[in-house]
Amino acid sequence: MKKGFKRLIFSALAIAAMMTSTAFAKTVNMNLTYNGKTHAYSASEIKIKIDGEELAPKDMPPVVIEGRTMLPMRLIAQELGCDVLWNDETNQAFIINENYTVAFTLGSKTVIKNGQEIALDVPAMIINDRTMLPVRALAKALDLNVTWDDPNRTVYIGEGRTPTTPTEPTKPTTQAVKVFQASVPASKTASQVFTIEANDAIYSYDEVYLDDTRVVIDIQNATNGLSEKITNTNSNIVTSIRSAQHDANGVPVTRVVLDLAGEKSYTVTQSADKKKIYVTFDQVVVEDISLTNRNGVDKLVVGADGGLGAKISTLSNPHRIVIDFPNVESKAANVLSTNGLSYITAARTGMYDTNTFRIVLEVGQLTEFNWEEEDGDFTLEVKKSTLENLSYDIDSNVLILDSVESMDVEDIQKNDRHTEGYYELTLPGDYESAYGYGTLKIGNDVIDSISVSTKGSKTVIRFTQNRYSEYVIEETKKGYEIHVKNPKEVYDKVLLLDAGHGGNDPGASANGLMEKNLTLTMALKVQKYLENSDVKVYMTRDSDVRPENSVRAKTANQIADLMVSIHMNSAGTATTANGTETLYQVHSNDNNSKLTSLKAAEIMQSSLVQAMNTTNRGVKQRTDLLILNSTTVPTILVEICFLSNPGDAIKISSAENQEIAAEAIGDAIIEMMDKHRLR
């Protein structure tokens, strides 16, 4: 006679591991295949015990994916005395006994139990050809009492226990360590080892898989003392190192993220004293390279003994595809024959520097290419483009349309969506027969790609931008030239207007107001006010998103004469602080014959205080703000008022006062740019 499901209660879990001062857990290293890809996995072992007996995984252990602990469904269900069936047609797994029939559908967050639907927060998955269930789903669907032994990283499934009130996971008994340093390689050609260091022994950490472009390490019982973002990595593999801290059931967890240029093999180890975690990218060996043509497609295949992390770029005159493999050496032949190929006219290989292997393919510009990399195999295909009668001069950033069909350039419509990363030109008719359709990959500092499509009766050219740009269209004897220009080449006065914070960064909050919402409201009002002026306004954001502060500053340096960042102040729980202040920093290139950040701050402060009748807190030099420090053009950060002060909060929440403030900011900007030399 089969056992019934154990009638138990699900206790609160922290399966993604709260650590304690216990012995070090065994590490599970393996490859996991799911969602069509294979991923390297390395994490502390998780044990399963049913009625006190340890359940030994036969071929698939519990694993943690994106913070969710996944358990092998068949192994546990059969141990509980249930039948497990699989329906290929419906992608459903069934767990059956005399009391229940429970159906799990792959990818669905709904489970059907005895005909009733139950909502889950995470669906079942196929991992390494095994059906895996999140712990929470298993407990909820099967009425299981699951408890978590934090020190030993063990899931307990018990029989016959008296239901108890769920308890919090065990919290560390040791003082939290501080992660204070992330060390990078000495140079791009040195061994690619990254070190994360704490002031005391790190007793538990987990690798969290998010995707193949990041290494994510969660350090348990650790506070974060690292810089918000490290970009000087001395590496062609790791583009930046980011860190953050969050609490899990009262225990601090420091997350360190290494952003990768591409998929790359690595190992994570720990020093003998447990104070350091090493992320090592071993040198990969290219074993073979081939060039073939099949079914009219030229194909490059590179085979290696690990992840290559390819970086793809293009060059012009002649048009070339450049593939760089960082931290790679090659044992393959350097001479590649292009005999029998349709679009690759020349190919060469070699070491670009002491540890970067490069392949260069010469192709016609009107070709398309795509690539993929998986498990050390890199494949790039080149075929004829569906675009025609156009070309792009990468050196001068000009798109040339041949005069196949005539058009009036005055009728071309412009749609600047710079905050969304693109700019569109809509031609005055259907020109698909002249220019085709598809995407031209550029990949320089200005343009990432150009796509041509026809919507209804109009052909649209979309420029995906790596920099805010303006577009000047000229008709020539041979056709039409679209010049992609820096805004300062087109306009005499260029302003970058910044609404502070945004997205997952709310800024200050008090008296029912949130800074990120108010800064956006104010920035949009200032933008509208300046529409009738001769100031060209670009925005860092016009919706609830959060551009990195470094990107905001970089954009200002690239295209603007002046940057104004709008913020709201706060004094926390104190309510007496109030008024307006404007912040600035002295730049090394300041020239008193031109507008400086100090002059701009003084004009802004005077205009706002007079218009808003707020307390004048003055202009203040600040040396600790990234936007002020990283810009090279005049930049100010205006704190309009204090949200923490009831009087200020009431004032700025009024639509009428918002208009007054917006006009004061706009008038100050016009005065700065009218009365002072900008360039």
pLDDT digits 0-9 by tens, 362-395: 998 899 899 998 878 999 999 999 999 999 998 8
Label residue 416 by pLDDT band (50, 70, 90). very high
Is the model's pTM score more than 0.85?
A: no
Q: Is the C-alpha dihedral spanning 391, 397, 398, 399 positive or negative?
A: positive
Whether residue 15 lies inside any domain: the answer is no
Tell me, yes or no, whether 239 lies in a domain. yes
**Residue 557 sits in the same domain as residue 641:** yes
How does pLDDT run across 593-611, given as a tens digit for each residue?
999 999 999 999 999 999 9
Does some domain include residue 21? Answer: no
471 and 606 housed in the same domain: no
Among the three residues 433, 461, 485, which one is the final residue of a domain in this structure?
485
565 and 658 share one domain: yes
Range name among 282-291, 471-480, 535-544 with the lowest pLDDT average: 282-291
Residue linked to tokens 């190192």: 241
Residues 394 and 476 in one domain: yes
Considering the domain boundaries, does residue 353 fall inside one? yes
The answer on 632 and 539 residing in a single domain is yes
Distance CA 365, CA 257 (A): 37
C-alpha dihedral (574, 576, 580, 583), degrees to nearest 10: -40
Range scoring the smallest mean pLDDT among 133-137, 318-322, 476-480: 133-137
Residue 644 lies in a domain: yes
Q: How confident is the model at residue 149 (pLDDT cuts 50, 70, 90)?
A: low
Q: What is the pLDDT of residue 41?
A: 78
Q: Specify the number of domains making up the chain.
A: 5
Do 292 and 348 fall into the same domain? yes
Residues 557 and 435 both lie in one domain: no
- Structural domain of 45: 27-157
Mean pLDDT, residues 572-595 taken together = 94
C-alpha gyration radius of the chain: 30
Whether residue 456 is found in the same domain as residue 574: no
Give the CB-side neighbour count of residue 212, counting CA atoms within 13 A: 23
Which CATH number covers residue 606? 3.40.630.40
Do residues 470 and 527 share a domain?
no
Average pLDDT over residues 224-252: 88
Question: Is the same domain home to 538 and 658?
Answer: yes
Domain boundary among 485, 510, 536: 485
CATH code of residue 147: 3.30.457.10
Q: Provide DSSP, 470-498.
A: EEEEEE-SSEEEEEEE-HHHH-S-EEEEE
- Would 3 be classed as within a structural domain? no
Instruction: Write out the DSSP string of 549-617.
Output: HHHHHHHHHHH-SEEEEEEEE--TT------EEEEE---TT--TTS--HHHHHHHHHHHHHHHHT--EE
Residue 1: inside a domain: no
Domain check: are 458 and 315 in the same one? no
Please indicate, yes or no, if residue 254 is contained in any of the structural domains.
yes
Residue that is last in its domain, among 254, 281, 308:
281
- Mean pLDDT taken over the chain: 87
CA distance 651 to 353: 60
Peptide bond into 318 cis (omega under 30): yes
Do 647 and 504 fall into the same domain?
yes
